[in-house]
Chain A
Amino acid sequence: MNYLLVFCGGSLGAVARYWAGSTIQGRGTGRFPWGTLVVNILGATIIGIIVGDRRLGLHTLLFADIGFVGSFTTFSSLSHETLVLLQKGWYGRAFLNPLVSLTVGFLGLWLGMRVGVAL
């Protein structure tokens, strides 16, 4: 049952990331991985809200936290896209991508927690 909840949440999260990521990426110039950046920051904010709201039960957490948001955000694409930026010789962008992900993601999580606690 637990694994099924994680599977369902994870499937939906991956599709949401695929859709949102490619939609956002399609609007840019293709020189910066905006898709993954926005998805990861958004996901960090949502997980802040989920964790901040302590009334949620185990099954909701498995589906929404570990499943959906866990799969919605990604670390491997962030690493890979940074590597591609480096290989293209865009060192500034390659430095900014993980830096912005980390700092704004952290801020998003903090903000999300405030919202989650207040809910």
Chain B
Amino acid sequence: MLDFFLVALGGGLGSVARFGASQIFGASPGVYTILGINLLGSYIMGAVMPWSSAQKQRGRSFLGVGVLGGFTTFSTFILEMYGLAHGPGFMQAFIYGVGGLGCGLGACWAGAFSFSLLNARYDRAEPETELENEEIS
């Protein structure tokens, strides 16, 4: 039950952040705010998933499923692809779709890589703090 609440809260916050970003940077054709949001979200997802699985399931529910799930979107991504296919041409839509998914995968990998770098550094610097954290959780 708490999980559902955390997902709802996170999803609401993530959606508001996405809406806010598209208000600030614009969402008209030719402005790739949604693509930027999706790539940023994938990057953070890559960094957060190994962290949250090492910590509590609740962190995963709130951040991964809630905030990042609400922040990033697939439906508008496809809608923009459809708009490209209708306007500039099918090739542009294809490049946007395949390129977007490919970059999303790359961003997620970069996020996971950042996490592993940070983790290795953290392990070396303060091994005791790491132990304390595990005891608390």
Whether A associates with B in a native complex is yes
List residues of chain A with CB within 8 A of the CB of B109. 83
Q: Tell me the count of chain A residues lying within 8 A, CB to CB, of chain B.
A: 49
Interface residues of B (CB under 8 A from A): 3-4, 7-16, 18-20, 38, 41-42, 44-46, 49, 61, 64-66, 68-79, 81-82, 97-98, 101, 104-105, 107-109, 112
Q: Does A10 contact B (CB under 8 A)?
A: yes
CB distance from A4 to the nearest CB of B (A): 9
Pair B15/A6 contact, Cβ less than 8 Å = yes
Among A8, A10, A62, A69, the most chain B Cβ lie within 10 Å of the Cβ of A10
Pair B69/A71 contact, Cβ less than 8 Å = yes
List residues of chain B with CB within 8 A of the CB of A98. 101, 105
Pair B82/A106 contact, Cβ less than 8 Å = yes
Q: Does A70 contact B (CB under 8 A)?
A: yes
Q: Does A91 contact B (CB under 8 A)?
A: no
Closest 4 CB pairs of A and B: A14-B11, A10-B15, A73-B74, A11-B12
CB distance from A11 to the nearest CB of B (A): 4
Per the bound structure, the CA–CA distance linking A28 and B82 in Å amounts to: 31
Per-position binary interface string of chain A over residues 77-118, scored 1 when its CB falls under 8 Å from any chain B CB and 0 otherwise: 111101100100000000000100110011011100100000
Interface residues of A in 1-28 (CB under 8 A from B): 2-3, 6-15, 17-19
List residues of chain A with CB within 8 A of the CB of B14. 10, 14, 71
List residues of chain B with CB within 8 A of the CB of A44. 74-75, 78-79
The prevalent SS among residues of B at the interface is helix
Per the bound structure, the CA–CA distance linking A78 and B44 in Å amounts to: 13
The prevalent SS among residues of A at the interface is helix
Per-position binary interface string of chain A over residues 34-53, scored 1 when its CB falls under 8 Å from any chain B CB and 0 otherwise: 00000010011011100100
Interface residues of A (CB under 8 A from B): 2-3, 6-15, 17-19, 40, 43-44, 46-48, 51, 62, 66-67, 69-80, 82-83, 86, 98, 101-102, 105-106, 108-110, 113
Pair B16/A3 contact, Cβ less than 8 Å = yes
Residue of A nearest to B108 (CB): A79
Residue of B nearest to A46 (CB): B75
Per the bound structure, the CA–CA distance linking A17 and B75 in Å amounts to: 13
Candidates A14, A70, A78, A80; contact of B49 at CB < 8 Å? A80
Residue of B nearest to A7 (CB): B12
